[in-house]
Structure 1
């Protein structure tokens, strides 16, 4: 199974980038749910949501630009850690978001999922000279 995952590393890179871009866009298009879960002790919740959305989009793009993909992966990893308090806040304070399950079972899955996301981003922090690395820039990486 691990070999299959390694074989699909670039497909998984595109899935991670697409997911990040989608969620990042949602931070701007539908900001209320994100603002609602920002812990009260943090200042300017709306600004924090927009900043995190911006960096999710930037990270998604960077992950698909081979010369900066490692740095982008480190940034994504840091972002996943930075937003974890919002996930904890949602779980601890039973914050209900329309359309999002909020039972104990959901929180039991949702919080550990953050560790999976962190590990997923970490996978791309390692140097990779794969000539078939997913890229949004034609000709990169070089296939010679």
Structure 2
């Protein structure tokens, strides 16, 4: 299997797994929904889970991989405010939890870049 195909499969698995988690155990994700969004946090949690599964499925299929990967990049950007909210809300939690919440923030950039590499049909980033 080529590196680009393996990368796409891994990205697809990550997205589908995250989406399934949003649907199977929504409560922790509800707390991440910014209050400024209209409607119920549970609705946003479900919608984001469905979006992750749909984008993951699109990335998995060779015919829709490029479009799905662009959708994944957009999704990673769209959920960034939830990660900011989590970091803010967890600022008084124990240090390991605070560190985990803060670590999510810079992780979005490599996820976006990964999705864009899959869109271009490239494999994983070269190692130094």
Asked if Structure 1 and Structure 2 have the same fold, meaning a TM-score greater than 0.5 normalized by the shorter chain, the answer is yes
Q: Does 1:9 align with 2:4?
A: yes
Higher helix fraction (1 or 2): 2
Contact 2:26 2:45 in 1 (8 A): yes
Q: Secondary structure at the match of 1:66?
A: coil
Contact 1:39 1:85 in 2 (8 A): yes
Q: Does 1:32 align with 2:27?
A: yes
In structure 2, the gaps of 5 or more residues are 123-128
In structure 1, the gaps of 5 or more residues are 1-6, 131-144
- Measure the CA separation in 2 of the matches of 1:38 and 1:18: 23
Say what the alpha-carbon RMSD is for the aligned residues.
2.3
- Measure the CA separation in 1 of the matches of 2:92 and 2:112: 24
**Residue in 2 aligned with 1:42?**
37
Compare CA radii of gyration and give the structure with the larger one.
Answer: 1
TM-score (norm 2): 0.83
- Measure the CA separation in 2 of the matches of 1:92 and 1:80: 19
- Alpha carbons of 1:95 and 1:59: their partners in 2 closer, same or farther (altered >3 Å)? farther
Q: Secondary structure at the match of 1:37?
A: coil
